[in-house]
Amino acid sequence: MSSSTPLLEYTLHLADDVLILGHRNSEWTGHGPILEQDIALSNIALDLIGQARNFYQYAAGLAGNDSGESIYPAGGGGVVTEDTLAFLRDGWDFRNSLLTEQTNGDWAKTILRQFFFSAFQVDLYEQLAVGRDTTLAAIGAKAYKEALYHLRWSSEWVIRLGDGTDESHQRMKKALEELWKFTGELYIPAPYERWAAEAEIGPDLSQLRVRWKERVKEVFDEAGLTYPVTEWMQTGGKEGRHTEQLGYVLAEMQFLQRAYPGCEW
Amino acid sequence: MAENQWPLWEIFIRSKQGLDHKHVGSLHAADAQMAIENARDVYTRRMEGVSIWVVESKYVHASNPDDAASFYDPASDKVYRHPTFYDLPDELKHM
pLDDT digits (tens, 9 = 90+) for A188-203: 999 999 999 999 999 9
Q: Which residue of B has its CA nearest to A36?
A: B38
Q: How far apart are CA A132 and CA A135, in angstroms?
A: 9
pLDDT of residue A65: 54
pLDDT tier, B1 (very low <50, low <70, confident <90, very high otherwise)? very low
B52 touches chain A (CB under 8 A): no
**Subunit contact A43:B30, Cβ cutoff 8 A:** no
Lowest mean pLDDT among A24-33, A67-76, A99-108, A183-192: A67-76
Choose among A207, A181, A178, A202: nearest CA to A190. Answer: A202
Mutate to test the interface with A, among B8, B41, B45 (most CBs of A within 10 A): B41
Q: Is the pLDDT of residue A184 over 50?
A: yes
Distance from CA of A196 to the nearest CA of B (A): 34
Q: What is the mean pLDDT of residues A167-185?
A: 97
- CA A118-B31-A143 angle, to 5 degrees, is 25
Torsion of CA A52, A175, A98, A206, to 10 degrees: 90
Nearest to A39 among B29, B30, B42 (CB): B42
CA–CA distance from B20 to each of A13, B15, B54, B59 (Å)? 45, 8, 14, 20
Q: How far apart are CA B39 and CA B35, in angstroms?
A: 6
**Subunit contact A35:B28, Cβ cutoff 8 A:** yes
Q: Is the pLDDT of residue A66 over 70?
A: no
Domains of chain A in sequence order = 6-259 (1.20.1260.10)
Q: Is the pLDDT of residue A159 over 70?
A: yes
Choose among A126, A136, A130, A121: nearest CA to A55. Answer: A136
**Subunit contact B41:A35, Cβ cutoff 8 A:** no
| ipTM of this complex prediction, to 2 decimal places | 0.74
Q: What is the mean pLDDT of residues A126-137?
A: 97
pLDDT of residue A21: 98
Q: For residue B93, tell me if it sits in a domain.
A: no
pLDDT of residue B48: 85
Q: Is the pLDDT of residue A69 over 80?
A: no
Query: Bridge partners of B23?
Result: B12
**Subunit contact A36:B38, Cβ cutoff 8 A:** yes
Domain that holds residue B53: 2-62
Per the structure, how many domains does chain B have?
A: 1
pLDDT of residue B3: 57
pLDDT digits (tens, 9 = 90+) for A20-47: 999 999 999 999 888 999 999 999 999 9
Q: How far apart are CA A28 and CA A104, in angstroms?
A: 8
pLDDT tier, A263 (very low <50, low <70, confident <90, very high otherwise)? confident
Nearest to B42 among A36, A152, A153 (CB): A36
Q: Is the pLDDT of residue A170 over 60?
A: yes
Nearest to B33 among A34, A43, A156 (CB): A156
DSSP for chain B, please give it.
Answer: -GGGSPPEEEEEEE-SS-SS-EEEEEEE-SSHHHHHHHHHHHHSTTS--SEEEEEEGGG-----GGGHHHHHGGGGG-GGGSS-S----TT----
Percent residues over pLDDT 70 in chain B = 95
pLDDT tier, A176 (very low <50, low <70, confident <90, very high otherwise)? very high
CA A37 to chain centre: 20
Q: Is the pLDDT of residue A10 over 90?
A: yes
Lowest mean pLDDT among A162-171, B17-26, B70-79: B70-79
B8 touches chain A (CB under 8 A): no
The CATH number for B58's domain is 3.10.20.520
- A-B contacts at Cβ under 8 angstroms: 27
DSSP state of A131: S
